Amino acid sequence: MGEHILLLGAPGAGKGTQSKRLAAEFDLEHVTTGDALRANKDMDLSHMDTEFDTPRAYMDAGELVPDAVVNEIVKTALEAADGYVLDGYPRNLDQAEYLSEITDLDAAIFLDVSEEELVDRLTGRRVCDDCGANYHVEFAPPEEAGVCDECGGELIQRDDDTEETVRERLRVYRENTEPVVEHYRARGELVEVDGEGTPDEVFAEIADVVDE
């Protein structure tokens, strides 16, 4: 049976980059609520008695999309997966509780990155509009500015990677998601990895954890 891996970390810690690679190398499904929501930004939530009517409105504000929406996405995706890497979920304790009801984890890995580094990474991040590859204007520039090395697609800045929204996302992370990290740590289930190395260094450490 495939492994059940959870990758935890703040926005910009490298969860997306590392989960994609883990999924490819260990033949796991990459389950990511962020990508799922970006692909369904204008889903109509008006029947749900929630603050905003679309995922887009929450995401652009840097707030969490309602639990009912993301829980459903994760349940459907995990049911269809044998092994998986879960990225971007759970982001609060209620989601962590829900997750424990629908699956068992083999490892919860936390990517540790300082707050200054997170802000620099997120505000300089560019993503390919076609294939989703990640770049950074300073730390990992493409060969030609604005053009994806992988597929020639256009590189764009995510709507929520502006400085103001980044600050709010980090505040929401501290308030809602740090308790999730503490929850797994208190249960002795958390493996911490230094997330400030190069992508290759960080991947080597994560792969060691999964291999065990």
Catalytic residue annotation: 15, 91, 125, 158, 169
Binding to ligand AMP (CB under 6 A): which residues in 161-200?
169
Axis-axis angle for helices 163-172, 115-123 (nearest 10): 140
Q: Residue 98 or residue 203: which is nearer to ligand AMP going by CB?
A: 98
| CA dihedral for 133, 71, 27, 109, sign (positive or negative) | positive
Q: Which residue lies nearest ligand AMP, judged by its C-beta? A: 34
Q: Residue 169 or residue 193: which is nearer to ligand AMP going by CB?
A: 169
Q: Least separation, in Å, of the C-beta of 150 and ligand AMP?
A: 19
203 binds ligand AMP (CB under 6 A): no
Nearest to 27 by CA among 54, 10, 5: 5
Distances (CA, A) of 52 to 35, 66, 75, 89: 19, 9, 23, 20
Distances (CA, A) of 186 to 57, 81, 182: 34, 28, 6
Q: Least separation, in Å, of the C-beta of 96 and ligand AMP?
A: 10
With contacts defined by CB under 6 A, name the span among 31-39, 135-143, 147-155, 201-209 that binds ligand AMP.
31-39
33 binds ligand AMP (CB under 6 A): yes
Q: Which of 6, 28, 59, 181: binder of ligand AMP (CB under 6 A)? A: 59
Say if CB 32 and CB 87 are below 8 A apart. yes
Element (H, E) at 5: strand 4-8
Say if CB 109 and CB 209 are below 8 A apart. yes
Binding to ligand AMP (CB under 6 A): which residues in 79-118?
88-89, 91, 95
Q: Residue 23 or residue 65: which is nearer to ligand AMP going by CB?
A: 65
Q: Least separation, in Å, of the C-beta of 10 and ligand AMP?
A: 9
54 binds ligand AMP (CB under 6 A): no
- Give the binding-site size for ligand AMP (rule: CB under 6 A): 17
Q: Residue 65 or residue 148: which is nearer to ligand AMP going by CB?
A: 65
Q: Return d(Cα 71, Cα 123) in angstroms, integer.
A: 28
Q: Which residues of 60-72 are buried (b: 16+ CB within 10 A; e: fewer)?
A: bbbbbbbeebbbe
- Please compute Rg for the chain using Cα positions: 17
Where does this chain bind ligand AMP (CB under 6 A)? 11, 33-34, 37, 58-59, 62-65, 70, 88-89, 91, 95, 160, 169
